[in-house]
Chains A and B, each alone.
Chain A
Amino acid sequence: MSVRDTLGVGTVRRMNWPRFLGYLTALSLSAMVVLPVLYVVLATFRPESALYSSEIYWIPRNPTLENWTAAWDDIQRELINSFIIASGTAILSLLITVPGAYALARLSFPGKRKAFFFVVMALMFPGVLLIGPIGSAWRSLGLFNTFPGLWLAFQAFVAPFSLWILRDFFEGLPDNLEEAAMVYGCTNVSAIYYVIVPLSIPAIAAVTFLAFLTGWNDFLFSNLLTQSSHRPAVVSIFESASGRGAIDWTLVLSQSFIVGAPPVALYFLAQRYMTETFAM
């Protein structure tokens, strides 16, 4: 940008083509994401029969909340299951990966590069392969259809990713923090808890969010490692939406948004931390 533009003294405003095209692209892509979702959100406020109308319209006529109340009544237990599964996954992953990432970032020991390589390799792993073997192992270990079984199974995806992000963040912190903490009476382990962790809240929030998201959103593991009593909400939606026959859209669509709301809301809450973390 030239000085003249900044001061606004240009006599003739020339069309800034890159900027114009940039806005156009960015806004059309935003419309492409938001509009389909918005159309369906609005449709859930229609009376039941109007969901099955071949007429296309956006603003619901005779809007009603009936679909939502019916959907809500039908999915509460599964939502609680989802919540237990997702929070447990997040908490367990922090307990496992915060110390691990700390060692990878701030301690020196032989084989450190290889150790990190081992973590990145795990990141590259196609998770769908593990369902069969883990399913069969969990059956013999008594972990099948239990919450801890899912908490553990999800660590296969969550732990490598958290280790990767946290290590990057921990490495960026100033060098002599631990020494300073030890002057004030910390041991080398308690320094992690009192100094490193509080300084790393953005990164910890980001990995907690991603772990929660994995536990909340995942379908394949949840479906094949649980039965009815422990099923999370996405599995129940899959069952009502994936049939080849008639689908009860009144229920499925409202439930979809009930189940989809927490991850989206959490994303917007965690967004500030995510940007801080990934910007490093």
Chain B
Amino acid sequence: MRTVSLRERSARLREQIAENRLPILLLGPSFLSILLILWLPFLNGVRISFYDWPLGGDPAWIGSANYVELLSDERFITSLQATAWYMTTTAFQLILGLAAALGVYQMKRFQNVIGASYMLGYTLPPVIIGALWKYILDPRYGPFFGYLRVLGVVEGPVFWSIDGTISLAAITGVMSWTIWPFMFLVLFASRQGIPDSYYEAAKVYGAGGWARFRRITLPQLKSAILVVVALRVIWNLSEVSQPLTLTGGGPGYDTSILGIFLYRLLIQANLGLASASGVILFAISLIGVVLFFRSYSQEVEF
């Protein structure tokens, strides 16, 4: 191996900087903000997770004690289970978004109006979604259980907020209601990109509706589906304002999905334990990241 003197190396670096002064200047602010506001705090969070760190108090290094405490904490286990159930929302979002994309594509008129109406819930602030649904699902005067009473499905008010299972179903349902239009937006755009000639050719060969869906639509949408699912796995994990407003993470910790669990620890000013649960959340969301890059790099050249 040829040795390169320090001076030589620094001269070459200086030359490279001089040659690329414009891109460095233009990209500088973007890179600095991503580094300083995203990666630096994240790394700091990983560090904090090894400390007993009361907000505003004196931190003390305690090694992996936070992780040990979390994993032996029943509330954390409850939270993990809640998260697993809650993440089924991604599937509901996909089914609704895909149905809407294929449905709207069949329409000859009013595509824009219908598509725009879908965005109503998606653009409202998450806290407001939570508040609206809290009224709609109110056991005594909300219309949801009101109609169920009229239909004879339930008798009398259902005080669901003390029932962990119904509460979990409620936050999963509300989240699905809120987010599926995002899936619609992406999948509708991809559906528009499938050439009609594919379907015409399939018809010539006698393919029925179901066969055309399975053999043309699904494979053509595959990479778009993988991309939105991966993105939503990550974002559903960290978008917690709707369920937080709706249930506050209760009863007990039954609807404290990981993001809410983390929030509750922060409110209690327990920064160390919150960061440790954040690192675990990050590890889980890496599944989504891997899925994303595998599907995204198939489609797009970096």
Does B associate with A? yes
CB-CB under 8 A from B16, the residues of chain A are: 110
**A56:B146 contact, CB within 8 angstroms:** yes
Interface majority SS (helix, strand, loop, mixed), chain B: helix
The stretch of A7-15, A22-30, A70-78, A200-208 that contacts the partner chain? A22-30
Chain A interface size, under 10 / 10 to 19 / 20 to 34 / 35 or more = 35 or more
Task: Give the total number of A-B pairs whose CB atoms are below 8 A apart.
Answer: 278
| Chain B residues near A234 (CB-CB < 8 A) | 125-128
A37 touches B121 (CB 8 A): yes
Complex-state Cα separation, A103 to B117, whole angstroms? 37
User: Could you tell me the distance between the alpha carbons of A237 and B242 in the complex, rounded to whole angstroms?
Assistant: 12
Known: A18-B106, A242-B244. A36 touches B126 (CB 8 A): no
Stretch at the interface among B62-70, B73-81, B282-290: B282-290
Give Cα A190 to B16, complex, Å.
Answer: 23
| Nearest Cβ on chain B to A151's Cβ, whole angstroms | 10
Q: Say whether B41 contacts A134, CB under 8 Å.
A: yes
Are A278 and B44 in contact (CB-based, < 8 A)?
no
Identify A129's interface contact among B24, B231, B271, B281, CB under 8 A: B281
A220 near B: Cβ within 8 Å?
yes
Choose among A18, A131, A217 the residue that contacts B125 (Cβ–Cβ < 8 A).
A217
With A33-B121, A129-B282 as known contacts, state yes or no: A159 contacts B126, CB within 8 Å.
Answer: no
* Chain B contact residue count (CB 8 A cutoff): 94
Using known A-B contacts A130-B45, A219-B241, determine if residue A95 contacts B114 with beta carbons closer than 8 Å.
Answer: no
> Judging by beta carbons under 8 Å apart, are B123 and A263 in contact?
yes
A4 CA / B271 CA spacing, docked (Å): 70
Residue A252 interfacial (CB < 8 Å): yes
B124 lies within 8 A of A260 (CB)? yes
Contact call A100/B27, Cβ cutoff below 8 A: yes
Cβ contacts under 8 Å, A242 to chain B: 130, 244-245, 248
Contacts of B124 in A (CB 8 A): 37, 217, 260, 263-264
Is B302 among interface residues, defined by CB-CB distance under 8 A?
A: yes
In the assembled complex, the CB of B188 is this many whole angstroms from the nearest CB of chain A, namely 10
Report yes or no: A100 in contact with B136, Cβ–Cβ below 8 A. no
Bound form: Cα–Cα A264–B241 in Å: 18
Q: A21-B103, A242-B244 are in contact. Are A103 and B121 (CB under 8 A)?
A: no
| Residue B152 is within 8 A (CB to CB) of chain A in the complex | no
Which of the residues B107, B143, B157, B259 comes within 8 Å of A23, measured between beta carbons? B107
Which residues of the other chain, A, contact B187 by a CB distance below 8 angstroms?
A: none
Query: Across the interface, which residues of B come within 8 angstroms of A95, CB to CB?
Result: 29
The answer to whether A132 and B34 touch (CB under 8 A), given A34-B117, A110-B16, A278-B185, is no
The 7 closest A-B pairs by CB, nearest first: A22-B106, A100-B30, A25-B103, A126-B238, A26-B103, A133-B41, A217-B125
In the complex, besides A23-B106, A156-B34, 20 extra interface pairs with C-beta distance below 8 angstroms are A18-B209, A22-B102, A22-B105, A25-B100, A32-B177, A100-B27, A103-B27, A121-B289, A124-B289, A128-B262, A159-B37, A219-B125, A234-B127, A238-B130, A241-B130, A241-B134, A242-B248, A244-B250, A257-B128, A260-B124
